[in-house]
Structure 1
Amino acid sequence: GISNIVMYNAWALFSGIGHTVNYLVAQNYGANTMKQGVERTYIAFYLCALAGVLVFLIGWFTNDSILRLMGGSPELVGAGSDYLGIRFYAMVFSIFTFAFHGFFRGIEDTKTPMITSLIGNLAVILFTYTLTYGRWGFPELGLAGAGWAILIGEGISFLLSFYVYFIRLHTRYQTRAKVKLNLAESRLILRESSKLGFQEFALSISMFIFTMFVTRLGTHALAANEIALNVMGFGFMPAFAFATTATILVGQEIGKGERLAARRWGTDTALLGSFIMFVLGTVEFFFAEPIARIYTDDPQVYALTAFLLKISAYLQIFDGLLMIYSGGLRGIGDTSFLLWSSLLLSWFLFLPLSYLLTFVLDLKSVGAWVSLYMFIMVYGVTVMTRYYRVDWLSLQAKAAHEP
């Protein structure tokens, strides 16, 4: 669990590279300027390489220190040190794979990311079982075996994506062409990747602190919180899918110069995504306790979990709106707004409100959960309002000289 928190924050910081490739390539695809799209992707790969070296060194030298900093006992540090280090090595592949997937999605190839992810995750499941417990002639490596399983799965996803990009797509897009380092384009990719990465990082850090608040409420509260977040993750997945779709469709229409069509695609995607979130929310509201009891038979935990699910069931529609309209704003390259809204609302609304409701007003878990969804509601409305207040008629595809 501690390693997952660390890796999520690390991934968030470097996820901006893949998001940037996604929206810029979508614009290039719409404008029929894919030579530039390939050049931009190569520059993103150079950034991935730098990020990969940094991540590898962190995993090699600091995994013990990170676990101690997180408050781990000597037993936890001893058991988890190798595992966390291997997770960092696996992330080197993850950073590249997310950039590959950004390119594929930008050219409307959403099937390749799906297939490579499925194969990679099936490999994770298989090797977690065989390497952790020593089945079918494999060595019994314990927790470290689970780490190696993730490394193998991420490596497989990377190799499959590598093959598709450099072999299968070469004839159509000349993906093996030599690309000189263009300073203006390099600054654009670095700037956009930094903004989108820090946007995700601000959210992930605030969620980490939120979890620390809940941890202080005791074991039952923490268990209920983690189960409820896990259940709400079923809403996060389709919301992420619709958000990526919005980025692709909006970005492509901007590239074509069809600005009003771009805005309409974002609206249609949000309407369909909201309907899906409404259906999921209805199921979670009326079946909250049976869902909670799938995870635990502790009455205190499943009763509190059910109550938290009922609070968030329909409010998660705003989570969908937040993600989908953020995807639309990425499609037009409005990354500065996404960065600053994330920073300001996470640190000056969510965390103070969470502390106030949880501890000062002593609402405990309910206060924490209400603060989370009040934050998501305000954030979703803010991003949606921005989407419709943009001067769409003046929009252009992102150029290297733009701020």
Structure 2
Amino acid sequence: MVLQAFCPQFERIDNAVTIRDILVFHEDHVAGLKEEFTGGDLSFALSCEIWGTSYHRMSYLCVAAHYVDGDHILNKRVISFKLIDGAPTAEAMARRILDVAMEYGIENRIVSVTLGDGLADAETMDALAPLLGWYTGGFVFLQRCIFSILNDIVRAGLTEMAEPLDAIRSAIAYVSSSEANFAEFEKCCVERGQKARKLWPDSKVRWDSTYDMLKEVLPYKEVLTDFVNGNHVAGLKEEFTGGDLSFALSCEIWGTSYHRMSYLCVAAHYVDGDHILNKRVISFKLIDGAPTAEAMARRILDVAMEYGIENRIVSVTLGDGLADAETMDALAPLLGWYTGGFVFLQRCIFSILNDIVRAGLTEMAEPLDAIRSAIAYVSSSEANFAEFEKCCVERGQKARKLWPDSKVRWDSHMTCSKKCFPTKKF
């Protein structure tokens, strides 16, 4: 109504129409590429990588074809951008890449396959050898990227100083774990006459990112040391020691697809002497191993013992990636100290709702996966989005960025499309 008041010519575009246009654009684009690949004696080099976001908890396999056309112009086309709905094993990824090549009829004209981070390993190449063997007559070899080799060399050298680097990463993550923590960090910076800024950890797959991290952190060395290991933690320990306080812990895993790192965040909730509910992030540390149930339970217990609250915990709330029966079984002794051995698992209502909704959506999994893949395909490159904008303009519509739903948020498919059921028409 507000938009119509300012612009009477405004016409609302239904989400179903937008989804239909995306699918039509995708089908037309794929048909055009197949026709182009069929004509002429073309050879192809494929590049494959995994795209993902920590928010949506989804990963996509992106496959691009590189080739020189009849006018001797080098072309790049994204030929697949599909959801990875299972474990990204070497065999599964190789099978998907082979399926894409066969879909476009280029499986016997591939001269090379370049694999990105998360895919580049000997097992995947062994599984892809038959695909390349059709063109090369069986002669296949693995050539690693120079940046990957450099990264391995640098990472091997950095193991000599792994402990201080892990401490720096954890300190940066701890400061950024909540607005309250960053506000305290800003306060410490002001007291020392420095201007606070957001700090970012390095990435495991980018060899020079550690240097960038250290260059940014060095001016804040004393502030970070005092904030993380000094006054802030000491003040919390002193606060927790005084008074007869009980605590509820909330734990979740934080991570980003860019940095390829995950952190265990532990927050303590308690009511102080003034009957005010408080929340304090008491740990934000790097997960440097497999996040098994036993390992995560051990870390949570270590945090509780560090602050001396291990026998005053009334409940532990586990976030996505932690909430399972195995983790709760491993945490039972921690809770048993307070409850006298009586421990039970109570699932979050949103987690239960998510399972119910997801179970119902399996009935329309195929059209939903098609919508997610189409949205991801349109957003996979600027060229694709420009083509999509062009299609929207031709239909008198305004193009906008669209986002897929999230597997762990039961109502997120409504954001992707207010009504998923109309997609059955497509």
TM-score bracket, normalised by the shorter chain, equals under 0.3
Of Structure 1 and Structure 2, which has the larger fraction of its residues in strand? Answer: 2
TM-score (norm 1): 0.25
Higher relative contact order (CA 8 A, sep 6+): 1
Of Structure 1 and Structure 2, which has the larger fraction of its residues in helix? Answer: 1
TM-score (norm 2): 0.24
